[in-house]
Amino acid sequence: MTAVTPLHNQDLSHHWMPFTANRAFRQDPRILARAEGIHYWNDRGEQLVDGLSGLFCTPAGHGRREITEAVSAQLGRLDFAPPFQFGTPGGFHLAREIAGLTPDGLDHVFFTGSGSEAVETAIKIALQYHRRRGEGQRMRVIGREKAYHGVNFAGWSVGGMVRNREMFGLGMPGVGHMRHTQIADNRFQLGQGDHGADLADDLQRFVDLHGADTIAACIVEPVSGSVGILVPPKGYLERLRAICDRHGILLIFDEVITGFGRCGAPFAAQAFGVTPDLMTMAKAITNGAVPMAAVAASSKVHDTIVEIDQGGIELFHGYTWSAHPVACAAALASLKLYRDEDMFARAAALSAPFLERLADLRRFPIVQDIRGYGLLGAIDLAPAETMGARGFGALKALYAAGAVVRVTNDTIILAPPFVMTAQDLDDLFGKIAGVLQAM
């Protein structure tokens, strides 16, 4: 075991932390200093079970030697190359591997550095697609309430989490938001609810209000993750697909969280049997080892932009870190791990015992709702006088009990690694039950 230097008594003021109550953190820091398998260790040497796969990122567990060796070898061979007008072997190899996992027809992959960048990229591709078709007036993008699509300007504009939007002005023009799918009729129903497919008709209402020929794309998470695991009602995604097809609107799936096995199939698109025109992915693409993300595009979209001869560069967009050689090496090693260890099937098999234990938490009076699909779960707690206070208290209590989870407002979010066993689930849910019992 590598010794770590305790940080809890040091000056922590220089690091401005993301999505964190920084002043409160400095008073009671939670420092994760080491990780292996399904566990973290903090700077005090205490072990914590990882109930979130890092941040939906590490389904194969932490510290995988195969990824470490691939990254080390790549650094010794080619650490960086300019992605504009030059290519590397890893980028082309990885794109082929991803195209073998995506739904049929989504065969073209554009690499970015984060999920937020992937969303920005998908929206720009959608806008240029329509312009190349001679319909440049299609500039509206329809998102959804309670959605999270990252923190770049386009992403938070189409997203629907109020606190992510309220300080930053009006956002991208021409954005509309459909209603979210968290409805009372589906409370405590794990999997897809029986009610709410008609909420997809909100997209038709935007068509009726603004005209189909003004709408470029509709973007949704197949399962809304960061707001608290909102599973699509039965028939909802199919209805969105049909409306988009009827009116020439591109459908974008944000699979930053659901991609790479989280729903028991390579992507949620396959789990739900609905294929989008564009699909974002990130997080588990490298098992969390190196930042990376991507957009998969259909041949229809790609060929309209790239194969129509315009002369020169077809898409004026990209990032310094697009298809970074080290990230490609980490991703290729991760995908090999997923394939060799049959990770997606393991996730599918683990889902039933995970959801069973999740459902059992309904017995606590403080629990107001439970939702889950695949290896994603959420527990809504009865709020205290201040929204989010009870959730933050649960986060701290679970850390003290030896568990790492995510909390949004008063909702506990779980996304266990695929390599957990039934006994590991017992350990995680035992800690959660103890905290809920004490609240």
| Structure-block tokens of residue 98 | 């991803």
Burial (CB count <10 Å: 0-12, 13-18, 19+), residue 182: buried
Same domain? For 165 and 255 the reply is yes
Rounded to whole angstroms, the Cα distance separating 248 from 334 reads 36
In a domain, 369, yes or no: yes
Q: Examine residue 212 and state whether it is found in any structural domain, yes or no.
A: yes
Same domain, 322 and 381: no
Residue 51 lies inside a defined structural domain of this protein: yes
Predicted pLDDT at 164: 87
User: In the numeric block, which tokens belong to residue 192?
Assistant: 């897809």
- Asked if residue 53 is part of any domain, the answer here is yes
Q: Residue 90 maps to which CATH number?
A: 3.40.640.10
Asked whether residue 282 falls in the same domain as residue 383, the answer is no
> In this structure, what DSSP letter does residue 242 have?
H
User: Has residue 77 been placed in a domain?
Assistant: yes
- At residue 309, the pLDDT reads 73
Which domain-ending residue is among 321, 340, 359? Answer: 340
Over range 246-257, report the average pLDDT. Answer: 98
Query: Based on the domain organization, do 217 and 77 belong to the same domain?
Result: yes
The DSSP bridge pattern shows strands 403-404 and 406-408 to be: unpaired
Q: Per-residue pLDDT for 9 more than 70?
A: no
**Which domain does 273 fall in, by range?**
68-340
Give 307-328 pLDDT, tens digit per residue.
Answer: 987 789 999 999 999 999 999 9
* DSSP reduced 3-state for 78: coil
| pLDDT of 202 | 98
What is the percent of the chain with per-residue pLDDT over 70, rounded to a whole number?
98
Residue with tokens 């386009």, as numbered in its chain: 154
pLDDT tens for each residue of 120-172:
999 999 999 999 999 999 999 999 999 999 999 999 999 989 888 989 989 99
Confidence check: pLDDT of 100 > 60: yes
Domain contains 428: yes
- CA angle at 241 for the pair 235 and 247, rounded to the nearest 5°: 135
Q: Look at residue 137 and tell me if it is in a domain.
A: yes
Asked whether the predicted pLDDT for residue 1 surpasses 50, the reply is: no
* Residue partners of 86: CB distance under 8 A and separation at least 6: none
**Res 7: pLDDT:** 63
Residue 252's nearest CA partner among 218, 282, 294 is 218
| pLDDT grade for 4, boundaries at 50, 70 and 90 | low
Convert the pLDDT of each residue in 332-389 to its tens digit.
999 999 999 999 999 999 999 999 999 999 999 999 999 999 999 999 999 998 999 9
Report how many domains make up the chain: 2
Q: Has residue 3 got a pLDDT over 60?
A: no
Same domain, 348 and 331: no
Strands (E), 194-337: 215-220, 250-254, 278-281, 293-297
Q: What is the CATH number of the domain that holds 407?
A: 3.90.1150.10
pLDDT tens-digit profile of 384-438?
989 999 999 999 999 999 999 999 999 999 999 999 999 999 999 999 999 999 9
Q: How far apart are CA 395 and CA 410, in angstroms?
A: 10
| 140 and 238 together in one domain | yes
DSSP structural state of residue 178: E
CA 80 to CA 326: how far, in whole Å? 8
pLDDT digits (tens, 9 = 90+) for 21-71: 999 999 999 999 999 999 999 999 999 999 999 999 999 999 999 999 999
User: Domain check: are 75 and 35 in the same one?
Assistant: no
11: confidence class by pLDDT, cuts 50, 70, 90: confident
State the virtual CA torsion across 130, 134, 140, 143 in degrees, nearest 10. Answer: -20
Residue 10 included in any domain: no
Coil, strand or helix at 313 = coil
Which residues 6+ apart lie within 8 Å of 356 measured at CB?
A: none
Q: Are residues 137 and 205 in the same domain?
A: yes
Q: pTM of the predicted model, to two decimals?
A: 0.96
**Strand-pair category, 293-297 with 278-281:** antiparallel
